[in-house]
Amino acid sequence: MYDVVIIGAGVSGSASARELSRYKVNACVIEKTEDVCSGTSKANSGIVHAGFDAPEGSLMAKLNVEGNLMMEELSKELDFPFKKNGSLVICLSEEDMPKLKELYDRGIRNGVKELKILNKEEVLELEPNITDDVYAALYAPTGGIVCPFGLNIALAENANTNGIEFRFNTEAQDIEKIDGGFIIKTNQGDIKT
Ligand SMILES: Cc1cc2nc3c(=O)[nH]c(=O)nc-3n(C[C@H](O)[C@H](O)[C@H](O)COP(=O)(O)OP(=O)(O)OC[C@H]3O[C@@H](n4cnc5c(N)ncnc54)[C@H](O)[C@@H]3O)c2cc1C
């Protein structure tokens, strides 16, 4: 019988497990495949977004900006590769400038720090390999890249070290509500929470 069962050992499940491991809690993560980071988390672009894309006022915008600020310290704490190399959104013509300005304004309202609109000369100085057709760019110095596997594995390892059990090859097939909890029906038998 667990206090909490997390279904899925991707980056969300593993981060939740790590957070939960700070508390006195009997918890497990069940994962249908044989390892962590087997779903979407293994196949993304590895960008730690600055936060100008997320809809203004949304939880996603709030967590994006907060999460971005946490990543550098987290990478040192858990020892996974992270590089704050900044990001550029390129604009190729004057007529597209209102769209770039819209992104900038949204970013400012979302609380993204250090956002700047660079002119052609400034962009080429920062990134000489960009096309000469560049007109301007939105520069977000807080954007970065992370190793998606490194992040996911580090979160799961740390959660496991701190007492969260990981049960692989265990697929949740049904969830039944019972008095005071749930029964999770899996291919490996019932798990109560
Ligand atoms: C092409 C692409 C590019 C992306 N690029 C970026 C990016 O650059 N930056 C960024 O921040 N985000 C990016 N994302 C989004 C990001 O990858 C996802 O938001 C994130 O990986 C979701 O993690 P998750 O843990 O919720 O899901 P997943 O990683 O899919 O984890 C879910 C886990 O649950 C398991 N599971 C499913 N069903 C069951 C079951 N019934 N029982 C037990 N286990 C089960 C799966 O096997 C899997 O391991 C991108 C996404 C895509 C598709």
Position in ligand 1 atom list of the atom nearest CA 170: 43
Please identify every residue annotated as catalytic.
49
Section 154-168 average pLDDT: 98
In angstroms, rounded to a whole number, what is the distance separating the alpha carbons of residues 128 and 177?
A: 59
Q: How many other CB atoms are there within 10 angstroms of residue 50's CB atom?
A: 26
CA–centroid distance, 40 to ligand 1, in Å, is 3
Nearest CA owner, ligand 1 atom 1: 44
Residues whose beta carbon lies within 6 Å of some atom of ligand 1: 7-13, 30-33, 38-41, 44-47, 49, 171-172
Report the SS3 class of residue 61. Answer: helix
pLDDT score at 176: 97
Each residue's pLDDT tens digit, 109-152: 999 999 999 999 999 999 999 999 999 999 999 999 999 999 99
Cβ(50)–Cβ(87) under 8 Å? yes
Nearest-atom index, ligand 1, CA of 47? 8
What does DSSP assign to residue 50?
-
The conformation of residue 104, written as its DSSP 8-state character, comes to H
Spacing, Cα 10 to ligand 1 middle (Å): 6
CATH architecture of 1-46+147-193: 3-Layer(bba) Sandwich (3.50)
SS3 136: strand
DSSP label at residue 161: H
Q: What is the mean pLDDT of residues 14-18?
A: 98
Boundaries of every domain in the chain: 1-46+147-193, 48-146
Give the closest residue (by CA) to ligand 1 atom 21. 41
pLDDT at 38: 96
Q: What is the pLDDT of residues 177-188, one digit of tens each?
A: 999 999 999 999
Q: What is the pLDDT of residues 73-122, one digit of tens each?
A: 999 999 999 999 999 999 999 999 999 999 999 999 999 999 999 999 99
